[in-house]
Structure 1
Amino acid sequence: MNLTVNELASMIDHTLLKPNISNKDLFQLCQDAMKYSFKTVAINNAAIPFCKKTLEGSGVLCDAAVGFPLGQSTIETKVFETIDAIEKGAGEVDYVVNILEIKNDNWKYVEEEMQRIVEACNEKKIVSKVIFENCYLTDDEKKKLCEVALKVKPTFIKTSTGFGTGGATLEDVKLMKACVKDEIKIKAAGGIRDIQSVLAFIEAGANRIGTSSGVKIVEEYKKMVSNQ
């Protein structure tokens, strides 16, 4: 894999989604993101104005979390949250699907939700990511979600919130890639903490990595590249 350090860093959404943080923690997150040129800082929406101001002029985007982490708010609530996040300064949006309606086999609802949120992002030319939360889904449900995504065309489909019972797996990324081919990008997130895992996920088909260990991962990659 012939990625430069900067190319690897640009594939990382640098994540801080814990509830028990302060602006000091968010400031450090933004400083690290600017230093390493990560693609985004992935944050809860209340933190967007502070991070947007801190990141001003850097090129690092704010990545909003919508319906996070359970996905159990209404379509109208998620659409409002998406628009509000964009208006506050979000440059990308990750939303959690309604797993209840997946388990109800209500795929019309799932498609409508995805369509309306993706349309809200498209209107503002904002990257959209659909969080599957694969740890709660059967393989058939994952495949059906991929089929819906192929109709709606979000920018990315994503493995996990990092707050469920499991995170990203290579098997899930491979399954998602097999379903959507190169028509939709894939984000792997949840439990990814070292460079070996990152490279394995990229090899399996991931185009973006969500992690709170971005600094550690890039430093590991620098050492790996320098030793080649």
Structure 2
Amino acid sequence: MDHTDIDVPDVAKMIDHSLLRPELTTRDVLEGCALAARYNVASVCARPVDVARAAKELSGTGVLVGTVVGFPHGSSLTAVKVAEARAALADGAHELDMVLSIGRLRDGDDRAVADDIHGVVRAAREGGALVKVIFENAYLTTDEKIRACRLSDEAGADYVKTSTGFAPSGATVEDIRLMRANVPPRMKVKAAGGVRTLDLLLEMVEAGAARFGATATAKILDDLAARRATAS
């Protein structure tokens, strides 16, 4: 995709500005929320402990607040993930990025994986929130990724997502194509982990990604603005 085909506001609304690093201070979180509001991105993806604060900071800006569930390993009991989801919704989250049960998927225990996702989806629907299912593709085979797509669809999730950003590798163009080909049109694909340049983001849009987890938000959007200005 050529940068002249897409505007800065369009790309901004594809980005979930990530505020998930464990070392972030309250000041870092507030600065991240201010950046998200300044660029008018789709959302911030905040740590659960920061959701209420982020919701307060971003109230009235048009930037949503998301958070993570079962992060980063997906190994929590379903009941714990459901409790996390409900607490996040009560604090003001509108989007939930949950990590599926990676080990159970690799075991071939599809029923356990689907039930786990569905539990979070059901809780999310109570609060009108979206659910994005994180696969953590660095640990999965092609067959496991395809099964994860099918199970996420069956459980009623809204997005499938490549990675947490905390595994040995993150999003790849090949995985975006694979995931887009194996979920129905109603579902969207989110790329996360290593999406730090405008060129990679645009390549992934072409491959089928609709949303991106990013920490390099300002760099990406400033680069696009500069290119648009040069081309005009």
Q: 2:65 aligned with 1:47, yes or no? A: no
Contact in 2 for aligned 1:153/1:184 (Cα 8 Å): no
Report how far residue 57 of structure 1 moved. 1.2
Match of 1:33 among 22, 33, 36: 36
Report how far residue 181 of structure 1 moved. 4.3
SS in 1 for 2:160: strand
Amino acid at match of 1:148: L
Amino acid at match of 2:119: R
Q: 2:189 aligned with 1:186, yes or no? A: yes
Mapping of 1:38-117 within 5 angstroms?
38-117=41-120
Q: 2:16 aligned with 1:13, yes or no? A: yes
Match of 2:227 among 218, 224, 227: 224
Runs of 4+, deviation exceeding 2 Å: none
Partner Cα separation in structure 1 for residue 118 and residue 34 of structure 2: 35
> What TM-score, normalized by structure 1, do the two folds share?
0.97
Gap runs ≥5 in structure 1: none
Aligned sequence identity (%): 37
Match of 2:154 among 132, 136, 151: 151
Gap runs ≥5 in structure 2: none
Amino acid at match of 1:46: V
Contact in 2 for aligned 1:94/1:128 (Cα 8 Å): yes
Partner Cα separation in structure 2 for residue 29 and residue 150 of structure 1: 32
Amino acid at match of 2:85: T
Partner Cα separation in structure 1 for residue 54 and residue 182 of structure 2: 35
Aligned to 1:119: 122
Partner Cα separation in structure 1 for residue 76 and residue 98 of structure 2: 11
Q: How many residue pairs end up in the alignment?
A: 228
Cα deviation 1:106-156 (Å, max 9, x = unaligned): 100001011111111122211110000000000000001111122223111
Contact in 2 for aligned 1:150/1:183 (Cα 8 Å): no
Q: 2:167 aligned with 1:160, yes or no? A: no
SS in 1 for 2:11: helix
Partner Cα separation in structure 1 for residue 167 and residue 135 of structure 2: 11
Cα deviation 1:168-218 (Å, max 9, x = unaligned): 000000000111142310000001101001101111000001100001100
